[in-house]
């Protein structure tokens, strides 16, 4: 479903002003990192369950070229326990201790997954129904425990232990790297951004560097 997000390459002839604006946005995002680390209960260095929230993942969430959704450092009684980026480029933010399994096989009470590939809404053969959440059409599956939300150029998947928690999370998610507030109307789904047709970084030829 999800593929690795690439940072946009600078196009030939791009204006100096465009480059400067891009660098300025990145600098502002990086300045926000210390505050975000505090919100994550010092997650950049401390273990919340059995893994820390790595500083580089937090930085990538803040500087990603697409909105990355989460529920803050905690949601209801659930604290954030892990934040990761998989090889496809999707970000997963996990809340609460494992209900089943453990490190590497954990099934938490709540997960919020943001995929930069909006070419399709996941589901496969799993029975689902259409619904509306915060002004956008969504797909609800697993008896309401899973909600797939196409918004803007991303797909946000909410996977929860029960229907009530899933719906509450859907009504509350915000983008960590965009001006946003809980309950606000979500951006309408954009047409296919073509992300799925782009080669993944491992598929790109390595660039030779001069010696010395």
pLDDT at 88: 85
- To the nearest whole number, what is the mean pLDDT of the chain? 76
Residue 126 has pLDDT above 60, yes or no: yes
C-beta of residue 61 within 8 angstroms of C-beta of residue 33: no
- The predicted-structure confidence for 1-51, as pLDDT tens digits, reads as follows 434 344 444 444 444 444 444 444 444 444 445 455 544 444 443 333 445
State both tokens at 125. 């053969």
What is the structure's pLDDT at 127? 82
d(CA 26, CA 196): 25
* Contact between 94 and 111 (Cβ < 8 Å): yes
- Residue 142 gets which letter from DSSP? G
Q: Is there a contact between 61 and 83 (Cβ–Cβ < 8 Å)?
A: yes
* β 69-70/74-75 pair status: unpaired
Q: Give the residue among 197, 114, 200, 199 at the shortest CA–CA distance from 153.
A: 114
Between 4-8, 67-71, 98-102, 128-132, the lowest mean confidence (pLDDT) is in 4-8
pLDDT tens, residue by residue, 159-186: 999 999 999 999 999 999 999 999 999 9
Determine the pLDDT at residue 182.
Answer: 93
- Distance CA(119)–CA(100), nearest Å, equals 31
Closest CA to 167 of 209, 201, 133, 139: 133
């Amino acid at each position: 479903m999800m593929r690795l997000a690439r940072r946009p390459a600078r196009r030939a002839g791009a204006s100096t002003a465009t480059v400067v604006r891009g660098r300025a946005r990145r600098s502002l995002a990086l300045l926000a990192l210390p505050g975000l680390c505090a919100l994550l209960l010092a997650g950049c260095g401390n273990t919340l369950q059995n893994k820390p929230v790595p500083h580089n993942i937090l930085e990538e969430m803040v500087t990603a070229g697409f909105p990355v959704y989460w529920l803050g450092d905690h949601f209801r009684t659930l604290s954030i326990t892990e934040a990761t980026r998989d090889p496809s480029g999707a970000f997963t933010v996990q809340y609460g201790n494992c209900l089943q399994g453990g490190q590497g096989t954990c099934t938490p009470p709540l997960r919020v997954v943001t995929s930069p590939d909006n070419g399709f809404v996941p589901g496969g053969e799993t029975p689902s129904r259409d619904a509306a959440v915060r002004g956008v059409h969504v797909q609800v599956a697993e008896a309401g425990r899973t909600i797939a939300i196409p918004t803007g150029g991303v797909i946000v998947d909410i996977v929860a232990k029960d229907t009530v928690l899933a719906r509450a999370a859907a009504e509350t998610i915000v983008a960590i790297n965009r001006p946003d507030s809980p309950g606000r109307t979500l951006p309408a789904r954009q047409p296919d951004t073509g992300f799925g047709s782009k080669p993944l970084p491992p598929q790109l030829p390595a660039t030779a560097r001069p010696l010395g």
